[in-house]
Amino acid sequence: MAKPEEMLTALQSKFPSPPLELLPLVVRSNKPADQFYVRIEPGALLEVMRFLRDDERTKFEQLIDLTCVDYLNFPDAADRYGVVYSLLSLTHNHRLWIKCFVNDPRPTVPSVTSIWKSADWMEREVFDMFGVVFEGHPDLRRILTWDGFEANPLRKDYPLRGKGERENYPVIHRTDA
């Protein structure tokens, strides 16, 4: 089980600039952080991910989760969308999180489906719910909402009750049957 610092050293040996740093995933007052994320720019994402999967020191065979956070009106947040990649190495039994921040208009992240197949539907879900576009995705369609839906429901500025989608729908009367 490699320590997070060793993972970062391996990463920095390949990607010296810009300097990468380990950031705690959760900040707790009573005990030190043991889960870390690394912030990666969208342009370098594909190379970094491929390195993390293939390098012997990291060997992240699995992308176990891919999700997104909308940091609208979040205190001290500089960017709006944070795409989060959760990586697991079965070989070394260690985990690492990668965050990739993008902004309006047209938030765009390269697709990692060429590295992990499991990213396919998860990227579609993030595209559906947040409107983040994954470039290079083989089949980027909505996955949860229907095809005619236009909004991105998990964005913070989207109202919980929707914008009239559930009311504006064709009605069947008894005479139609």
Partner 1 sequence: MEKFQTDPHNMGNDDMVTTRLETLVNFFREKGVNWARKNSLWPMPFATACCGIELMATGASRYDIARFGAEVMRFSPRQSDLLICAGRVAIKMMPVLQRIYLQMAEPKWVISMGACASTGGVFDTYAVVQGVDQFIPVDVYVPGCPPRPETLIEGIMAIQRLVEKDGIRPSAERGKGMGLVVQPTYQLTMPTAAK
Interface positions with partner 1 (CB under 8 A):
144-146, 151, 153, 158-163, 165-167, 169-177
76-90 burial by CB neighbour count: b if 16+ within 10 A, else e?
eeeebbbbbbbbebe
Q: What single-letter amino acid sits at 140?
A: L
Q: Least distance to partner 1 from the beta carbon of 155, Å? A: 12
Q: Least distance to partner 1 from the beta carbon of 169, Å? A: 6
Q: Least distance to partner 1 from the beta carbon of 144, Å? A: 8
The DSSP secondary-structure symbol of 21 reads: -
Nearer to partner 1, 3 or 173 (CB): 173
User: Pick from 154, 127, 161: which is nearest to 71 by CA?
Assistant: 154
Nearer to partner 1, 31 or 173 (CB): 173
Torsional sign, CA 139, 132, 100, 87: negative
Q: At what angle do helices 4-14 and 45-54 cross, to 10 degrees?
A: 120
Q: Least distance to partner 1 from the beta carbon of 150, Å? A: 12
Nearer to partner 1, 76 or 167 (CB): 167
Nearer to partner 1, 32 or 170 (CB): 170
Q: Least distance to partner 1 from the beta carbon of 161, Å? A: 6
The answer to whether 134 and 123 have CB atoms below 8 angstroms apart is yes
Nearer to partner 1, 6 or 165 (CB): 165
